[in-house]
Amino acid sequence: MLITSPCVISLSWRLEDAQGQLIDELAEPMEFFYGGDDLFAKVEQALAGQEIGFEISLALDPEEAFGDYDANLVCFESRAVLPENVSEGMQFEGLPEGAASENMPADIVYTVTEVYPEHVVLDGNHPLAGVGLRMHIRVRDVREATEEEIREGSVGETVFSVVTGAPPDEPLH
């Protein structure tokens, strides 16, 4: 079966920064909805019309991956509005209740980047924002999408999504 929209593809990959430093390696195949929001547009374009066994290496500029770093997504919050055990690396979906920062998006994940006695620094940028990436991708399987997958436009979590209230222990996939 050729990769055409909509379908579900299983991929494995090696993800590196622009200097070749390993960021993530997905040895066991993971499924993605092709024709939705599960993959970067440049990855979808490269996979169009391909089949099982296809391999490619792609360079992605920040705007083709997780976007440019936006200093406007960084804010300071009182430690009092965060859990007592707050530590660097913790992540929160949206700002905590009682947050003082105004005009900050409520629908993004904030990462604690610094902890001080009275306040913490929260960063709403993806951890890989502003980073050029190299992806070495291999197509492991291609199948028809189910009606539910087509309706949802996804097979589940978005690519590289880490949303927790604790330090991330898992790779970015």
Q: What local confidence, expressed as pLDDT, does residue 171 receive?
A: 37
| 162 pLDDT higher than 60 | no
Question: In CATH terms, is domain 71-123 a member of 3.30.450?
Answer: no
Model pLDDT for residues 115-126, shown as the tens digit of each residue: 999 999 999 999
Give the residue among 115, 128, 93, 117 at the shortest CA–CA distance from 16: 128
User: What are the residues facing 93 on neighbouring strands?
Assistant: 109
Q: What local confidence, expressed as pLDDT, does residue 159 receive?
A: 52
Question: In CATH terms, is domain 7-66+128-152 a member of 3.10.50.40?
Answer: yes
pTM equals: 0.78
Model pLDDT for residues 57-81, shown as the tens digit of each residue: 999 999 999 999 999 999 999 999 9
What percent of the chain has a predicted confidence (pLDDT) above 90?
77
Q: Which residues, including other chains, have CB under 8 Å from residue 58's CB and lie 6 or more apart?
A: 42, 43, 46, 134, 135, 137
Q: What local confidence, expressed as pLDDT, does residue 158 receive?
A: 54
What average pLDDT is seen over the chain? 88
Find out whether 146 and 123 touch, Cβ atoms under 8 Å.
Answer: no
Q: What local confidence, expressed as pLDDT, does residue 98 receive?
A: 82
Find out whether 38 and 155 touch, Cβ atoms under 8 Å.
Answer: yes
- Which sequence spans correspond to the domains of the chain? 7-66+128-152, 71-123
Question: How many Cα atoms within 13 Å fall on the side-chain side of residue 167?
Answer: 8
